[in-house]
């Protein structure tokens, strides 16, 4: 029998064809609906390979059900949805999609920064609502980006690329990371500093840190109070690194000026979420890597990794090597 591959979201047929030519493939038939847990568990129990989304929980329960599972290819850079220790213990290879989405996510992150600072979304809604009656000196006035200080929390490949974008705006670049990045310091003039110093000095605080036990709820009301009142906060990493209720209170009470958010604690968020009631919040639905070119590269990399593992070879991006 051919190895069985289960794909947890509907993907373009041209992406899936290389797998269909060699393996038995089954795919969840909806693009925008999460595969039900019961279905995922049932399919995993038969699968040699899973191609998963960030919204799929690959935990102890699922891994123990997948007795013949060899590989999980996650359509994301992050893999906080996967119990890496449990997978490693069972000899299941975990793959992700780094590098191919770095530039696209950095573009989106900087765009979110600009939109929040210059009130672009607010302005677009203002004019659509017929509220523009005349030109006014301070109508929807936001904050300049050029010659300001950007603080990047999490200087991985995406953080480094955001820093590169910042040089085009003549920004001072601060960063905080688990380890110093000497190449970023030498090439881009970035300065390593403590988290506290970054928070207090930066005009723009950009969160790109992975979600870990140490970074969960990293940004609290106390942290926001130590930022400049004119500061703009951007989160393009993972929602749980921010205490959302305390961010809401900080924005509402004027502790900081604005926020740009691509990720949330629970996704998708409800349209009644308190943060969505604030005009100084630009919220988008976790689309950091969502360009057509990049998403296709991510899908193709997942397919390639699955094929390599099922063919007895080393995958291109092996998380738990």
Q: What is the pLDDT of residue 306?
A: 98
Closest to 4 (Cα-Cα) out of 23, 27, 29: 23
238 is annotated as an active-site residue: yes
pTM of the model: 0.94
Q: What is the mean pLDDT of residues 133-153?
A: 97
- For the chain, domains (ranges, CATH) are 4-100+292-310 (3.40.50.720), 102-283 (3.40.50.720)
Catalytic residue among 85, 267, 293, 314: 267
Tens-digit pLDDT profile for residues 167-190: 999 999 999 999 999 999 999 999
Q: Are 50 and 8 in contact (CB under 8 A)?
A: yes
Closest to 125 (Cα-Cα) out of 317, 290, 281: 281
Could you give the CA distance from residue 4 to residue 68 in angstroms, rounded to a whole number?
Answer: 10
Q: Provide the 3-class DSSP secondary structure of residue 187.
A: helix
286 is annotated as an active-site residue: yes
Q: Are 153 and 209 in contact (CB under 8 A)?
A: yes
Distance of alpha carbon 190 from its chain centroid, rounded?
23
Catalytic residue among 118, 238, 246, 295: 238
Q: In the structure, what pLDDT confidence band is assigned to residue 244 with cuts at 50, 70 and 90?
A: very high
90 is annotated as an active-site residue: no
Average pLDDT of the residues of the chain:
97
Q: What is the pLDDT of residue 135?
A: 94
Task: State the helix-helix crossing angle for 292-310 and 13-20, rounded to 10 degrees.
Answer: 10
Closest to 60 (Cα-Cα) out of 86, 35, 79: 86
Q: What is the mean pLDDT of residues 117-140?
A: 97
């Amino acid at each position: 029998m051919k190895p069985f591959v289960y794909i947890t979201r509907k993907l373009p047929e041209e992406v899936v064809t290389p797998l269909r030519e060699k393996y038995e493939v089954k795919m969840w038939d909806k693009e925008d609906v999460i595969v039900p847990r019961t279905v995922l568990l049932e399919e995993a129990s038969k699968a040699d390979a899973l191609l998963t989304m960030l919204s799929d929980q690959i935990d102890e329960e699922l891994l123990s059900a997948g007795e013949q599972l060899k590989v999980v290819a996650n359509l994301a850079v992050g893999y906080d949805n996967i119990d890496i220790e449990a997978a490693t213990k069972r000899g299941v290879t975990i793959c992700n999609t780094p590098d191919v989405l770095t530039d696209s996510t950095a573009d989106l992150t900087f765009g979110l920064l600009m939109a929040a600072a210059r009130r672009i979304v607010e302005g677009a809604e203002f004019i659509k609502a017929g509220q523009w009656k005349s030109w006014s000196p301070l109508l929807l006035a936001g904050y300049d980006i050029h010659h300001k200080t950007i603080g990047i929390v999490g200087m991985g490949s995406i953080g480094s690329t955001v820093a590169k974008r910042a040089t085009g705006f003549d920004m001072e670049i601060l960063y905080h990371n688990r380890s110093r990045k000497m190449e970023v310091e030498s090439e881009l003039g970035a300065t390593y500093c403590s988290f506290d110093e970054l928070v207090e000095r930066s005009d723009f605080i950009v969160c790109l840190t992975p979600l870990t036990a140490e970074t969960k709820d990293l940004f609290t009301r106390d942290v926001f109070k130590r930022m400049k009142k004119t500061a703009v906060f951007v989160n393009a990493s993972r929602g749980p690194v921010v205490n959302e209720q305390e961010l809401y209170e900080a924005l509402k009470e004027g502790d900081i000026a604005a926020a740009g958010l691509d990720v949330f604690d629970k996704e998708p968020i409800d349209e009644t979420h308190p943060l969505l009631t604030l005009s100084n919040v630009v919220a988008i639905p976790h689309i950091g890597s969502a360009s057509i070119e990049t998403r296709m590269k991510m899908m193709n990399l997942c397919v390639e990794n699955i094929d390599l593992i099922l063919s007895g070879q080393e995958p291109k991006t092996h998380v738990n090597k």
